Each structure stands twice: as C-alpha cells, then as structure tokens.
Structure 1
C-alpha cells in the first residue's frame, strides 16, 4: 500500500496502526535544508534530554512525506493537570491537529532486542495516552515516531506493537522509520 495513503487512512481510524517507512539521505546532517518548523525546533529550548536532532528530523520527515506543519513545540503545549507526560510537538497533518512524540529504538553498549522493544513501546505509548488525555491543544490522536537503526530493530518494534494490549496501543499511529545514513540521529551532536 502507498505509505502516504496508509498514513492518512491511519489518522482517521479509531484504533492503533503502524506505518513502516525508510529515510535515506545523500548529504551530511548539517547540509539538510530544513523547513521553518524544523528550524524552530532546532533553535529554541526543549524540555531537556538529548532528543533535539531526532525531533527536528521527525518533523522534517513528516513534513516532506505527509505535509505536516508545526503548530506548537513541546514547551508551548499546555496540559491540565500539569506535571505528567508531555508530547514533543503538535502539527497539522491533513487538516487534523496531531500530537507527535518521538523516540529512538536503540541500545547503548549492546544490541537492541525484543524485550527492549516491548519496554520502549509500553513506556512511550502509555505516555502518549496520558499526554493526549491531558492536552489543552485540541488533539485527540497522536503519532509515535520511532526511529530505528536497521530493519531488524524495526521488525522488533513492529512485533512488540503487535503483542501489546489494545488499551496501550489505543488509537496511536506508530510510524517506524529505518534510517541508516544519519548516525547523529542516534548519537546526538549539535547540528549547525
């Protein structure tokens, strides 16, 4: 099935789904021409951690692949009650307001395995469900964008998703993107 069509259809479903994608770049990370939204994510403070590049490239990928436009960054999103799980950014995709959370399927000092995939998706999808329930921005659906280092890792993530309880999967669209060509995506260094 055509990935843009599958992604668009998944956004309209009332159940969780997975869209498998791949990103190959032909230039260094610092030479990628970023959209205005991705540049904003790159240049303003986020909630901490080492996730800036993965979030910037997530928005850029969703923008080029599916027409996503940044509405709010993670520091601009409002929740009630405050203090719980947060979403990385909010975008308009196909005329829907969508929360987007980004993660990387990888393991420092070892090989990513099935139990790592299950643990990662459980944690991230439960956080997605909490931030969706508490957001004040009007989204009712989220995308969990999972960056995978290779096809084997992506297969573990897909299998883990299939094993999860439907209440955890909820109606979140999980986009799994295999990306071999940008090591900085997984081992972050400042862009620019």
Structure 2
C-alpha cells in the first residue's frame, strides 16, 4: 500500500518525471515564455487566465496573431494575441477584420487593445515605420500615432508600406489626404490615422460624432481625388480609454451608411501611451 502511494506521488505531483516537485518541471526552457490572457482584463492580470507557450521574443516578432480559446466551462470567444518585443495586441475579431479588408463593397468596425512595453523612442521599429518617422509629412503633431499605426498593422497583420503621406498624388489638390498607403491581406489600402481624446471633461457622443463625420468624410474625399489605385481605406482611431472607445463605437453605429461607406474603422484602446496622443 505504501509502495502504491509513493508511486502515485511520484507520477502525479511528487518527485517523478514531470511532477510538480521534479527538476524537469521546475527547469526553465530557454527561449520560451508563457502567454497569459484573461478574457476581460489586462494581460498582466493572471487571475482566471488561460495560457499557452510560445517562442519569444524574436520568433514572436515574426509570427502572426495566435488564436487562444480559453477553457472555462462558460461560453467564451477565441481571442487573438500578438506579443512582441515592443508591445502586445489583443483582438477578438481577427477573421472579421480580414473579411472587412477583402470586401470592397462593405466596411465595418474592429476594436483591439494595445499595451506597450516601452516608450516609442526606445522601441526598435521596423524599417518602414522608421521611414514614416523620419520623412517629412503634411504637418501636424500626429507623427507618433501614424508611426505606431503602421508598426502595429505590420507586426500583427503583415502590412507592407507602399507610399508615405507626401508620396501620394491627388487631383485636384488641396483636399483631404491619407497618411500612408499599404498592402494588407493582399489588398491595397489607404490609411488615415486620428486620435479620440479630450483634454478636459468626459468624451461625449457629440465629440465622437464630430470626429467620425469629419474623418470619414475626409476619407471619402481622399479616395475620390487620389491618383493611387487603392481598393478602400482604413480609418485608424486611437482611443485613450475603454470609455472613449465605447463612445466611438456606439456613435459609429448610428451614422448614416453614406458616411460610413466601405471604410474599415479600427478603434485601438492605447493603454499607457501618452506619447501617441501628445507626441511626447
């Protein structure tokens, strides 16, 4: 009886191979990291989290978003997570994004969360993101938001920069312009970047409507006047918080179809990212 008890301890939780007390279980595996992601909380909060082992960090940078399905006994959704050297991205609607991009007639709205691991000035950016940061643009104080817009689309979705803001030609000139042109999911896209924020007070439905109508109308005008052959445009909205993002989303669904057109609106909740909003 004692021998049987000792055998169970060794094989399940004791000193046997793979047991909780074994050297094999405790040994760290070089080049591996455990990715944890609770469904409704920060990536850093491990309570009620599910996990999967993935290579890191270099191979994570080369990979696409990986799909994780938590096993909690409750009805849940698959979540896509990208964890790289500079930031993580959490997205629930990866396949909807692909569909929206590839369907030239239909638009749509996608939301994801962005968590940086370091300041932008300390990030090792991709070659084309660095180009967006270095080349002249049409003015304004939104360079960092445009750079990180492209960096996220490249790292997570394989976007490839085709033209910067000043390389795109329009006729007639003088109207709204797009921030950069890229190819993603084999589709040529114009990308316009904006920021949803408010210095003082609560971000209201009126604030969201004013921003969306202005930017979506500008997207339509830029597409009509552009001499480039893109299929459709992305309006990439950086939001300072979940509340701001929810206000943008709620307002978007109330807009008339001729304003939304076939534009894909991506709303990104940027956690701990003041430089995206204030170019610090």
Q: Which residue of 2 aligns with 1:7?
A: 97
More helix per residue: 1 or 2?
Answer: 1
Matched, 1:17 2:82: no
User: Retained in 2: the 8 A contact 1:38–1:59?
Assistant: yes
Q: Deviations over 1:136-177 (max 9, x none)?
A: 110130000000001000001101110111000000000000
Report the counterpart of residue 278 of structure 2 in structure 1: 187
- 1:60 and 2:151 correspond: yes
Alpha-carbon separation, structure 2, partners of 1:11 and 1:178: 20
Deviation at 1:133, TM superposition (A): 1.0
The runs of 5 or more residues in structure 2 that have no matched partner are: 1-77, 79-91
Matched, 1:47 2:138: yes
Partner SS state of residue 166, structure 2: coil
**Please, which runs of 5 or more residues in structure 1 have no aligned partner?**
none
| 8 Å CA contact retained: 2:193, 2:235 | yes
Aligned to 1:94: 185
Query: Does 173-182 or 105-114 show the bigger shift?
Result: 105-114
Q: What corresponds to 1:177 in structure 2?
A: 268
Verify: 1:147 aligned to 2:238, yes or no.
yes
Which of 1 and 2 has higher RCO (CA within 8 Å, sep 6+)? Answer: 1
The structural deviation recorded for 1:119 is 0.4
Cα distance in structure 2, aligned partners of 1:63 and 1:41: 13
Q: RMSD over aligned Cα, in angstroms?
A: 1.1
Shift in Å, 1:111: 2.6
Q: How many residues align?
A: 189
SS in 2 for 1:41: helix
1:12: Cα distance to partner? 2.1
Kept in 2, the 8 Å contact 1:132–1:140? The answer is: no
Q: Report the equivalent of 2:123.
A: 32
TM-score by length of 2: 0.66
Q: Assess if the C-alpha contact under 8 Å between 1:112 and 1:153 holds in 2.
A: yes
| SS of residue matched to 1:80 | coil
The 5 Å alignment of 1:110-121 reads 110-121=201-212
